[in-house]
Chain A
């Protein structure tokens, strides 16, 4: 056990338990079976509007009847097919590994372990912005491999054929380093391109600090190195050993977004096009603009999202929570991906019912890998996948795409989602 990370405000202990025990952690201790009486926990701690929604199976289940007819036997939870087309990729589960960004927690060995396990799980992986301007790509003439390439290699070594995929973000600072061009013309990315498993994600913002660019804490020496490309500020005091490295958020209008997406499709025709938004108040408009411009996936990051480094005032006061973000998007016109505080099946099912095609694991994945670098993420995901099968089947549905807002009940009147008709065609392949 390495246990070097802490994640206050996040159900870290529960995530660590799952990383150790996998599906066993989905249930109460079997030793207590027959001797304890169980009921709901009185008030789940730290819950937001999404967590407050309850998952409400109906009594009459025409969707289950369809499955019964299909199988010629009563369906069970093991019959839920979690295979998902997400952002142009095939994923074995409606999950993906979110970007960790260039923070120290997100760019070291942990990220490489997480990459390898995501590959084994057959789920896509997003590699964060600012990896190249901060960590470099490849030094000519020696064997030094960048953080980015280390993750790609770990993923490719472990990925089964035909599933998963790698998504690389580019921010304004990355554009200076031409990250996408670099990868697109790199022969070592050819297998990914040829198998249709490379996507580029235009990052316009993030959940932890909507409206701001990326921020990381760097040492003095590193700060001097980066000063030409980033703004580096002495917010911690002149004599402090640390500096704050700030990236710009980039300027977007409807036309700028539309044209940037078209440019990506034009310049990188063999790569898929993803776009990530912060939980802005016009998120519905933004998402529809992106789909209309041909984005293969739109990622929304609730204000609960991000690997966490942000000014306190942003963490506590800024941005829409994931439930309201999804409500404002409404019925998606394309593939919608959601992140923000997901680590177990309940929150994942709620996000899927509100329109997401897949949900991202960020902090949870890092904590799980921190708990067990070899298999922590796989066990966490095994538990989550079991819960997904249990919940989706309980709702009388047998694919995540069949869920709708009707499958949820919200005690908060004004955050109740608007219903829409069931559909499974919102994320075209």
Chain B
């Protein structure tokens, strides 16, 4: 197998050249050809599954509090402190009564901590294929996510195989994805695996960047990680009523070191639980007035996910770093046009 080896987390996978030079590079041109096919395939697939595409909001009084040290950008909105969307999750939930199956191709901005500049998997500006399904379970959302990845992969290998092979990709490496073969493990199992490999992983938190890469490298097919602990994810990920402290959520990790492509969950929709969970994640419920009003009036139960578009394209093209698949890359901590 001749995959272009993704660079280790400890060394930066290079930095972008000046923007003009980057925009003229054949490598970016190839990546953008793959991206436009991926977008086309994603839209076709989701519309075929009965989804409606909406365009997401750009700013709001609150955004996804998300986490992992990233900050939302502040915007002065007629004198009110607004945020640029880190994700439109709250708006997805609020849209469900009118649009029970919806998706966005959503631009997001997260001022990531500098420490993520060297993961090859973080950009400050990025896009998500952001999906929400009323009345769905986690397993339903996983099925849609897996189907989406399989369809997009199939489509790009059908429409632009020369571009992919030109970038050094080998078609056989995608056999499992195209056949829809995915593994599943729990967060607890992932932690145990990392600890057994001598990687110090906090059992109460996210799988850290280095740990995620280790797990991704030792796998040949994509796999779901289920059941993250409360305290590692946002208040909208639903807690398992049968297992307090465990969330009904998941990540989808790409193999061969490419790492997380998707985060998703069943959503919390109960008003009182949402307020309590906001406090548990250190949030001030007063900020979320509009969203909590919707929740009081009744948000449908749902499940959904966001698939990172640039991460998807990086996985398809096999390029080392996310900046190589973004036309206008902004790396964490780097001031760029």
Asked if A and B are interacting partners, one says: yes
Whole-angstrom CA separation of A412 from B202 in the bound complex = 45
Do B69 and A262 touch across chains, with their CB atoms under 8 A apart?
Answer: no
For B97, list chain A residues within 8 Å (CB). Answer: none
Q: Are B71 and A202 in contact (CB under 8 A)?
A: no
Of A176, A190, A260, which one neighbours B280 at CB under 8 angstroms?
A260
Contact (A202, B114) CB under 8 Å given A181-B71, A265-B205, A266-B68: no
Segment at the A interface, from B21-29, B42-50, B227-235: B227-235
Chain A residues within 8 Å of B281, by CB: 259-260, 263
A270 contact set on B, CB distance < 8 A? 115
Instruction: State the CA gap A361–B28 with chains docked (Å).
Output: 57
From the candidates A178, A251, A258, name the one contacting B71 in the complex (CB within 8 A): A178
B80, B115, B205, B231 pick with most chain A CB within 10 angstroms:
B231
Q: Are B231 and A266 interface neighbours, CB within 8 A? A: yes
Known interface pairs A266-B205, A294-B204; A175-B67 also in contact (CB < 8 Å): no
Q: A259-B231, A259-B280, A260-B282 are in contact. Are A178 and B208 (CB under 8 A)?
A: no
A314 within 8 A of B: no
Indicate if A184 sits at the interface (CB-CB under 8 A): yes
Contact A185 B111, CB 8 Å, known A178-B71, A262-B230, A265-B204: yes
Judge whether A182 is part of the interface by a CB distance below 8 angstroms.
Answer: yes
Smallest CB–CB gap between A190 and chain B, Å?
Answer: 6
Selected contact of B69 from candidates A228, A250, A261, A267, CB within 8 Å? A267
Q: Which residues of B287-337 are within 8 A (CB) of A?
A: 287, 332-333
Chain A interface residue bracket vs B? 35 or more
Interface residues of A in 241-295 (CB under 8 A from B): 250-252, 255-256, 258-270, 293-294
CA distance A259 to B204 in the complex (A): 10
CB-defined interface of B161-190 with A at 8 Å, one 1/0 digit per residue?
000000000000000000000000000000
Are B204 and A266 in contact (CB-based, < 8 A)?
Answer: yes
The reply to whether A262 and B229 form a contact with Cβ atoms under 8 Å apart is yes
Contact B284 A172 (CB under 8 A): yes
Q: Does B282 lie within 8 Å of A202, measured CB to CB?
A: yes
Q: Is the CB of B71 within 8 A of A255?
A: no
Given A185-B111, A185-B114, A269-B284 contact (CB < 8 Å): no
Q: Are A263 and B67 in contact (CB under 8 A)?
A: yes
Task: Flag if B113 contacts A262 (CB, 8 Å).
Answer: no
A193 to B332, CA, bound (A): 16
A272 vs chain B, min Cβ distance (A): 14
Contact B276 A256 (CB under 8 A): yes
Contact A263 B113, beta carbon cutoff 8 Å? no
Cα–Cα, bound, A176→B62 (Å): 9
Q: Is B72 at the interface (CB under 8 A from chain A)?
A: yes
Query: Interface size class for chain B?
Result: 20 to 34
B199 at the interface (CB under 8 A from A): no
Instruction: Please determine whether B115 and A175 come into contact, CB atoms closer than 8 angstroms.
Output: no
Q: Which residues of A contact B282 (CB under 8 A)?
A: 170, 175, 202, 260, 263-264
**Residue interface mask B57-95, A partner, CB < 8 A = 1:** 000000000011111100000001100000000000000
| Complex contacts, B81 vs chain A, CB 8 Å | 176
B202 touches A265 (CB 8 A): yes
Interface: A8 (CB within 8 A): no
Q: Are A175 and B284 in contact (CB under 8 A)?
A: yes
A371 — which chain B residues lie within 8 A by C-beta? none
Docked-complex contact A255 and B280, CB < 8 angstroms: yes
Chain B min CB distance to A267 (Å): 4
What is the CB-to-nearest-CB distance from B271 to chain A, in angstroms, rounded to a whole number? Answer: 16
Does chain A have a CB within 8 A of B226?
no
A251 vs B280: C-alpha distance when bound (angstroms): 9
- Bound-state Cα–Cα, A50 to B57, Å: 58
Residue in B closest to A250 when the chains form the complex, CB atoms: B279
The CA of A270 and the CA of B210, in the complex, are separated in Å by: 14
* A28 is an interface residue with CB less than 8 A from chain B: no
- B187-229 to A contact mask, C-beta < 8 Å, 1/0: 0000000000000001011101000000000000000000001
Q: With contacts defined as CB atoms under 8 Å apart, how many contacts are there between chain A and chain B in the complex?
A: 89
In the complex, A294→B283 CA distance in Å? 20
Q: Which residues of B contact A411 (CB under 8 A)?
A: none
A372 within 8 A of B: no
Q: How far is the CA of A109 from the CA of B205 in the complex (A)?
A: 40
CB of B113 within 8 A of CB of A185, answer yes
Bound CA–CA A411/B14 (angstroms): 69
How long is the Cα–Cα vector from A178 to B115 in the complex, in angstroms?
18
B112 at the interface (CB under 8 A from A): yes
Query: B71, A185: Cβ atoms under 8 Å?
Result: yes
Given contacts A185-B112, A260-B282, contact A267 B68 (CB under 8 A): yes
Knowing A175-B284, A255-B280, A269-B205, say if A262 contacts B115 (CB, 8 Å).
no
Is A173 at the interface (CB under 8 A from chain B)?
yes
0/1 interface trace, chain B 88-127, chain A, CB 8 Å (1 if under): 0000000000000000000000011111000000000000
In the assembled complex, the Cα of A172 lies from the Cα of B230 at a distance in Å of 20
Q: Which of chain B's residues have a CB closer than 8 A to the CB of A178? A: 71-72
Q: Is A141 an interface residue (CB 8 A)?
A: no
Interface string of A169-198 (1 = CB under 8 A from B): 010110110100110110100100100000
Expressed in whole angstroms, the minimum distance between the Cβ of B233 and any Cβ of chain A is 8
Query: A265 to B69, alpha carbons, bound, how many Å?
Result: 10
- Which A residue sits closest to B67, measured CB to CB? A267
Chain A hits for B71, CB < 8 A: 178, 181-182, 184-185
Name the distance in Å between A202's Cβ and chain B's nearest Cβ: 7
**Which B-chain residue is minimally distant from A269 (CB atoms)?**
B208
Residues of the B chain whose Cβ atoms lie less than 8 Å from the Cβ of A170: 282
* Given A181-B71, A185-B113, A259-B230, A269 contacting B202 (CB threshold 8 A): yes
A181 touches B114 (CB 8 A): no
- Given the complex, which residues of B lie within 8 Å of A175, measured CB to CB? 282-284
Which of B69, B114, B205, B206 counts the most A-chain CB atoms under 10 A from its CB? Answer: B69
Which residues of chain B come closer than 8 Å to A252, judged between CB atoms? 279
Smallest CB separation, B286 vs chain A (Å) = 8
Name which residue of chain B comes closest to A251, CB basis. Answer: B279
Contact B69 A176 (CB under 8 A): no
When the two chains form their complex, are residues B280 and A266 in contact, meaning their CB atoms are under 8 A apart? no
Interface centre among B68, B71, B230 (most CB of A within 10 A): B71
Look across to chain A and name the residue whose beta carbon is closest to the beta carbon of B79.
Answer: A228
Question: What does the 1/0 interface line of A381-408 toward B look like (CB < 8 Å)?
Answer: 0000000000000000000000000000
Min CB–CB distance B154 → chain A (angstroms)? 36
Known: A184-B69, A252-B279, A265-B205. 16 other contacts (CB 8 A): A173-B284, A176-B284, A178-B71, A181-B71, A185-B69, A185-B71, A185-B113, A256-B276, A259-B231, A260-B282, A262-B231, A263-B232, A263-B281, A266-B204, A269-B205, A293-B204
24 A-B pairs with C-beta separation under 8 A: A173-B284, A178-B71, A181-B70, A181-B71, A181-B72, A182-B71, A184-B71, A185-B69, A185-B333, A187-B333, A251-B279, A256-B276, A258-B231, A259-B230, A259-B231, A260-B280, A260-B282, A262-B229, A263-B282, A265-B231, A266-B205, A267-B68, A269-B208, A270-B115
Closest 3 CB pairs of A and B: A262-B231, A259-B280, A181-B71
